Every structure is written in structure tokens, then in C-alpha cells.
Amino acid sequence: MPARPVAEIAEAAAGVFMAKGYQAAGVSDVSAALGMSHGAVYTYAKSKEALLYLALLRLIRPGALDGLGTPVPAPTPEEIVALVDGWATDHSGLPALAAASARRRRSRPVAEELGAIIDELYGFIEHNRQLLALVERCAPDLPELAQYYFVQRRRAMLDSLADYLRGRVRAGGLRPVPDVPAAARFIIETIAWFAWHRAGDPDSAMLDDAACRETVRHLLLAAFLR
């Protein structure tokens, strides 16, 4: 059988891990998705951990798959986290949220300020939804990745958004809410559903992307502005 491109192995692995999670997925699931023997998969990746590494690499640095030596060795948990952290350091910055959170007083109308934060969060989640889906599906089975993704990254982002909301509510720019952390979660989960999870819902996947983006922005602003 002719050699398969490493990118093809990585794509199949990503699909399996996103569908089943890390613990439930097996090398045999990847081999079945590829229509090749179980043993043949090991000529590309030495372990299930190596298949996850390939799946992440395909979404983070696809060009790195070209000329990659095979079989790919099993990475350590720290190497998996480092791969994701390298991407996050370069691509997951949220400058509008960071700048607004750092200012005690707003420097522009609060509708414009909050609108920019909503647009930024929506664009980030929409653009990176495949990678986010892969990491979020596998992280609960990998303690080091779970600590990094859920605690260090996602919780920090939610705390930053909550700090921003709290400051603007105190200043009178946004309407009071019963619980600020819940309000921050409400914003993130609303955006995440339309920018990400909607794509997997057969009743909602056909909605127009631009219309969803505009409607989410409109309704979130209406919910929080005085």
C-alpha cells in the first residue's frame, strides 16, 4: 500500500478524538477511519498520544507536518501542553478585552467598547472552533491539559471579562446584574454556541454566519446596556 500523507493521518485522528474524546478513542478507531490496518497506523505514530499530537499539530501548525519524521514518538503530557500553549501565546490574545479591563474608566462609549469585546470574542471562537473543540473534548481525560486549558486559560479569560463587567456596572455604564461571574459566562456561552456549537446542530447549522454574528452582538448589547 502506498504511503499516506501524514496530514491525512492527523486529520483522521482529529475527527476521532473530537467525536469520542481521548479516553474512549483508540488507535483502531483511527485505523478504521482511514481504512487501513491497525498495525499500519503505528508506522506513522507510535502511540495514541502521538496521534493526538499529530491532530493538534495539524490545526496549530499544519506546515510542520510536511517532512515530519515518522513514526512520531509518544509525547509527554508537558509536550502536548507546550504545543497548545505556543499557539495560545501567539494567537489567543484578546486586545480589546485586555485594554478595556485595564482601564478603570472607559475612553469611548460603553456600547462601542462592549461591542468591540463581543466582536473580538466571536471572531476568536469562530476562527478557532476546530482546535477549541479538539482541546475541550480531550482535556478532561488529560489532567495536565485540563489544568492548562480550563484553569489557566479559560478561567483567566472569564475572570478578565467579569472584572470588566463589574467595573462598568459600578461606573453606571452597564445595567446591574444578579451575579457578575454568571453574566460573564452568559456572554461567552452565547457566543460559543453561535460561533462554534451551532455548526454541529442540524437544526441551526444552516443559519447565516453573518446574521448570527450581528444578532448575537445586538442581543448581548441590549441585555447589558442601560
Distance CA 166, CA 171 (A): 9
Structural domain that includes position 215: 80-224
Domain boundary among 59, 75, 91: 75
Q: What mean pLDDT do residues 134-162 have?
A: 96
- The residue among 75, 100, 135 that closes a domain is 75
Task: Indicate whether 193 and 93 sit together in one domain.
Answer: yes
Assess if residue 188 is contained within a domain: yes
Q: Do 1 and 40 form a contact (C-beta atoms < 8 A)?
A: yes
Q: Which segments of the chain does DSSP mark as H helices, in order?
A: 6-20, 27-34, 38-41, 48-60, 77-91, 95-102, 110-127, 129-138, 143-146, 156-170, 180-195, 209-224
Q: What percent of the chain has pLDDT over 90?
A: 91
**pTM score, whole prediction:** 0.93
The answer to whether the CB of 108 falls within 8 A of the CB of 57 is no
Count up the domains in the chain and report the number: 2
Contact 127, 225 (CB under 8 A): no
Q: Per mean pLDDT, which range of 103-107, 122-126, 140-144, 169-173 is the poorest?
A: 103-107
**pLDDT tens-place string over residues 36-57:** 998 999 999 999 999 999 999 9
Asked if the structure places residue 40 within a domain, the reply is: yes
Torsion angle in degrees (nearest 10) through CA of 112, 150, 88, 97: 10
Burial 4-36 (b: 16+ CB within 10 A, else e): bebbebbbbbbbbbbeeebeebebebbbebbeb
Please tell me whether residues 56 and 89 are part of one structural domain: no
